[in-house]
């Protein structure tokens, strides 16, 4: 957990998962020396003695009387066969979140900058064999373009797959939507264009990574941008 202040805003980083390992778990077809020969450029932030250094982390922004989460990581108990290293995780994220002084019931806003699985996982948790909102009183802000693309009627789910790999991707998209997006449907607010969340916070499009990829723009005296990848 790291805490910093930017002007009138308090920012807390809560780490969900971190590993120092070779990147083959995430990029299995990339030769190891493609990474190691650039180790000097990555070190020390992104490279350790054992290999690639990577973390899944959730940012909590406290500003303008709001508690805002930016993306929600991979989540626990989620089946992700296409990314085995993050499938069925059992992390202490919620305990760390509470230890940082936060109550899931008191979160005002959850921002999903896009709808890839590693940005929506803690939208929900498994309770009595059902997926329920982790943050029951929050508004979940979702880019409309991503919702339309990845949703049940969007091309990511409804198009006819041409290969086994495309069929696998489609199953993955459907699973992610079913366990991490649909259960928070009553709390979702779709947005597009520039969207002002408060005096100091804006959501802005940054399409490319996905159709609706976006960033959170904070300016409470000192600017910062959050989101993507």
The stretches of 5-86 forming alpha helices (DSSP H) are 33-36, 39-42
Local confidence band at 24 (pLDDT 50, 70, 90 cut-offs): confident
Whole-number Å distance between alpha carbons of 152 and 190 = 16
Q: What is the pLDDT of residue 143?
A: 98
Indicate the average pLDDT of the chain.
93
pLDDT at 20 over 80: no
The answer to whether position 35 is within a domain reads no
- What would the two tokens of residue 173 be? 């998209």
pLDDT at 49 over 90: no
Number of H helices, E strands in the chain: 6, 14
The answer to whether position 171 is within a domain reads yes
Residues in the chain: 229
Work out the average pLDDT over 111-137. 98
Domain that holds residue 164: 2-18+57-226
Q: What is the pLDDT of residue 163?
A: 96
Number of domains in the chain: 1
Among the ranges given (22-31, 50-59, 84-93, 138-147), the one the predictor scored with the smallest mean pLDDT: 22-31
- % residues pLDDT > 70 (the chain): 98
The answer to whether position 124 is within a domain reads yes
Q: What is the pLDDT of residue 19?
A: 81
pLDDT in tens, 157-186: 999 999 999 999 999 999 999 999 999 999
The answer to whether position 80 is within a domain reads yes
The answer to whether position 64 is within a domain reads yes
Instruction: Give phi and psi for 96, each to the nearest 5.
Output: -65, -40
pLDDT in tens, 79-100: 999 988 899 999 999 999 999 9
CATH number at residue 117: 3.60.15.10
The answer to whether position 175 is within a domain reads yes
Q: What is the pLDDT of residue 1?
A: 62
The answer to whether position 138 is within a domain reads yes
The answer to whether position 89 is within a domain reads yes
Is the CB of residue 109 less than 8 Å from the CB of residue 141?
A: yes
- What would the two tokens of residue 161 be? 């797959």
Q: DSSP E strands: which ranges in 118-220?
A: 124-127, 130-133, 139-143, 188-191, 195-196, 201-205, 214-219
Measure the CA angle with vertex 147, ends 146 and 151; round to 5°. 115
């Amino acid at each position: 957990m790291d805490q910093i202040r930017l002007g009138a805003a308090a920012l807390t980083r809560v780490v969900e998962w971190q590993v120092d390992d070779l990147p083959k778990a995430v990029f299995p077809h990339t030769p190891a020396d493609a990474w190691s020969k650039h180790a000097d450029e990555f070190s020390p932030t992104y490279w350790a003695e054992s290999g690639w250094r990577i973390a899944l982390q959730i940012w909590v922004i406290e500003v303008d009387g709001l508690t805002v989460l930016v993306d929600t990581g991979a989540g626990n108990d989620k089946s992700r066969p296409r990314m085995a290293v993050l499938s069925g995780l059992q992390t202490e994220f919620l305990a760390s979140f509470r230890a940082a002084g936060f109550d899931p019931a008191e979160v005002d806003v959850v921002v999903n900058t896009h709808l890839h699985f590693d940005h929506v996982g803690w939208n929900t948790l498994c309770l009595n064999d059902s997926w329920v909102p982790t943050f029951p009183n929050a508004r979940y802000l979702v880019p409309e373009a991503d919702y339309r693309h990845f949703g049940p009627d969007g091309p990511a789910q409804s198009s006819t797959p041409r290969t086994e790999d495309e069929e696998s991707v489609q199953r993955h998209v459907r699973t992610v939507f079913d366990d991490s997006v649909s259960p928070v449907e009553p709390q979702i607010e779709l947005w597009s264009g520039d969207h002002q969340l408060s005096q100091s916070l804006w959501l802005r499009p940054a399409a490319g990574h996905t159709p609706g990829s976006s960033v959170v723009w904070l300016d409470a005296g000192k600017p910062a941008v959050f989101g993507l990848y």
